[in-house]
Amino acid sequence: MEKEFVNLLNAHPGILYKICHLYCGDEEDRKDLFQEMVLQLWKAFPAFRREAKASTWMYRVALNTAVSNFRQGRRNPRPAPLSSAALQIPDLATGAAGHEEMAQLYAAIEHLTAVEKALVMLYLDEKTYEEMAIILGIGKSNVGTKLSRIRAKLERMMKPVAR
């Protein structure tokens, strides 16, 4: 069982790192959260029924751990700014204006709740609404509603201030 668990972790290394970077700004906090997520995955592994994809199950356990730690403030994790490196997404913006818009978007995302950030990360990771619903333990239609509200919220935050 131990070997199977290690193989599972090695098959999906980016999941835990992305979540750590999303919820922790400090390197030590990221290490602590990483260890906590691995511990919770290990505790939950015997109950993993393989009805969902392994990556979906890992996201669910790891995000629940990160959100719980964030909400409870056990280690006082501070959300880190999202970056294309942390999410492993290409920066498609060109020129200074594009970089400025991306920086503004990342700054706006920092002001989202822990669950909203998780949804944005999963969306940027190109997860389906069904996968997001399974990972976050909410209804598929709720995912669509929340994403729509998050988009509107981000648009409001990013509107240029009239001078």
pTM for the whole structure: 0.63
DSSP state of 47: G
What does the pLDDT look like over 31-89, one tens digit per residue? 999 999 999 999 999 998 888 788 889 999 999 898 888 776 644 445 555 555 444 44
Instruction: Determine the average pLDDT of the residues in 76-104.
Output: 54
- State residue 92's pLDDT score: 44
Cβ neighbours for 19, distance < 8 A, ≥ 6 positions apart: 33, 37, 59, 62, 63, 66, 121
Domains of the chain, residue spans: 2-158
From residue 127, how far is each of 53, 103, 130, 149, 152 by CA, in Å? Answer: 12, 23, 8, 18, 20
Using DSSP's 3-state secondary structure scheme, residue 110 falls into: coil
**Which of 85, 103, 81 lies closest to 93, judged by CA?**
103
Residue 146: band (very low, low, confident or very high) from pLDDT cuts 50, 70, 90? very high
| pLDDT value at 163 more than 50 | no
